Structure 1
Amino acid sequence: MQPTPSNLSTTIWPAPFLLVGIPGLESLHVWLAVPFCSLYLMAVLGNCTLLLVIKTDPSLHQPMFLFLSMLSLTDLVLSTSALPKMLAIFWLGAGHIAFGACLAQMFFIHSFTAMESGFFLAMAYDRYVAICDPLRHTTILTSTRIVVIGSAVLLRGVVFFSPHPFLVGQLTFCKSRVIAHSYCEFMAVVKLACAETDVTKAYSLTVASLIGATDVLFIGLSYGLILRSICRLPSKEAGLKALGTCGSHICVILVFYTTAVFTFLTHRFSHGSIPHHVHILIANTYLLVPPTLNPIIYGVRTKQIRNRVLQGLHWKRPN
C-alpha cells in the first residue's frame, strides 16, 4: 500500500512540540510577560543604539568599542531567538513549535550563549592590555587581530553547537512532546526522547563545560592581573576610575555566568530539589538580563558613548 501524501508528510516532518512556558505559573503568564517584554524592548533599543553610535562615530572605532558592538549583535540575536516566541506563549497561548523551528531555536540560543561568553573574554583581554600594557595596546590589538578574535568566537560557537540540532534530530520521540520550558532548551528536549541519549548528553556536557570553564578561567586571570596592576598605580584617582570600570564589567559577567551555570547544572543534575518554575525563571534571566544590562553598563558608563548619545538627542550638557 502506497503512503498517502498526509502520511508521508507525517513521516518526514515529526509532530511539533508544545512549550508550556513556566510550569506551575500558568495563571501568571499574562502578568509575567509584562516585565519580560519591557526588558526585551530595552535590550533591543539599547543594543541598537550602541551599534548605531559606534558605527557612525569614527572616534569609537577602537578595540573596546568594536568588541562591544560584537557583544551587542550577539545580545540581539540571543534575546530575539527566545523572547518573541515566549511572549506568544504567555499572551496568546501559542505554545506549539514546529520540530525544525525548535531545533533552530536550540542552535541559536546555545551557540550565541557561547559567543556571548567568548566576547566577554575578548573584552576582558582588551581591558587587560589597555590597563597593564597601555603603550602597546594599539599594536597588540590591531584591526586584523580584532577581526581574527571576533571570527574565532563566532566560529567556535557555530562549530561546537551545530551538532546539537543534528543529534536531537536523530532521536525518536515516542513519549510526551510537551516541553516543560519556555524555549527549546537542549536538555529539556532530550529528556523527552525514548531512545538512548547518553552520547548526546555527554557531548553537550563536555562542550559546555570546556567552553564555560576555559572562558571563566581566562576572564578571572585577566581581571586578577588588572586588579594587581591597579593596586600598583601611584594615583589613587586613576586606580579608582579603572576599578569602577572593571567592577561594573565584572557585575555583568557574574550575572551572566551565575544564571547560565545554574541553568546548566539544574537541567543535568537536579532531581526535583529546586522548584521547576524557579529553574525556568532563572533560565530566562540569562537570555534577558545581560542583553538589557550590557548597553547600560558598557554604554552609559562609558564617557565617549554617553556624550555621543546625548549629542544625538540634542541635549546640552552643563559645563
Structure 2
Amino acid sequence: MRITRLLTAVVSAAILLPASAAVASPASAATVGSYVALGDSYTSGPFIPTQRLDPLGCGRSTANYPSVLAAALHAGRFTDVSCAGADTTNLTRPQGVPFNGTNPPQLGALRIDTDLVTLGIGGNDYGIFGSLTSTCPGLRASDPTGNPCEEHFKGAIGSAIDNIGPRVEAVLAAIHERSPKARVVLVGYPRIAPDRGYCPDVLPFADGDYAWLNGVEEKLNATLSDAADADGATEFVDTFGPSRGHDACARGGAAWINGKDQNVFEAAAYHPFKAGMAGVAGVVLRALR
C-alpha cells in the first residue's frame, strides 16, 4: 500500500536501527536455516517501532511479522527486504524511496540455499489500495449511508485485480527459480473494515462502502490464493478470515489495523499496528507448523 509521501514524518520521530539489525544471530537450534521476507508495506510495517535505516524510506520495522516469525522459528539467517510502496515490479526492479534511497530488486535477496520465503504483495499493483484510501473518505459526505466510492470506480477496481494474478504467478516462478528448495508462502491481506457496523471517526468510508471494501479485499485475496494454486508449489495463508474482529473499527486494543490517522510512533494510516503484525505472524506460524 502506497504511503511513501507520508514517510517523511518519520525522520524526527522514529527510533532507528542500522542495517546490521537485519540479520539475526545464528541460533544453535535453528529450525529454519535461511529465511527471506519479500513484500510491501503490509509486510514492512511503516511507523511501527523500531524502524530500520536500510533504507529508511521502506518503513521496515523490526517488529513486523517476518521479524516475529524469524524469532519464533530460530532462523539462522534472516533477510527482510520488504518495502512500503512495493508492487510486483519491484521484485525484479529497484524501487526508489523517500530521502533519496533505493531498495534493490527484492528477488536479489534470494539464494540457492534459502529454505523459507514469505511474500506479501499485490495491493499496490494498479494503485488499488492507494486509490481506495485517497478517494473513498472524500466521497462519504456526498452520500453517508450509500456507496459513493463503489459508484465512483464502477468496476474498475475489480478489473484491475483480475490482472494481478498473472503478475503474482510470474513472481512465484522467479522465486522458485532462484531458490528451488525453498518453502514459499504467499501471505494474504488482513481485513480493514468490519463485517458489520461502522466507525466513520476511524474509517471514514460511506456506510454502504464498508461491504464493498470487504468485497475488494476478498477478491484480492482470492486472486492471490488462485495464483498460489496455479503455481502448484506455493502455500497461500489467509489472514482475512482470522482477522475478523480485529479490523480498524475494533475497540479495546483489539484492532490489528490503524484507521485514518497517522501515528508516527505506532502505525501509518490504514496499515497494521504492532499487534496486527503479531497476529499475522501467529496465523502464518500455525500454517508453517
TM-score of the two chains, using structure 1 as the length reference: 0.27
- Structure label with greater radius of gyration: 1
Structure with the largest fraction of helix = 1
Structure with the largest fraction of strand = 2
Which structure has more RCO (C-alpha within 8 Å, separation ≥ 6)?
Answer: 1
TM-score of the two chains, using structure 2 as the length reference: 0.29
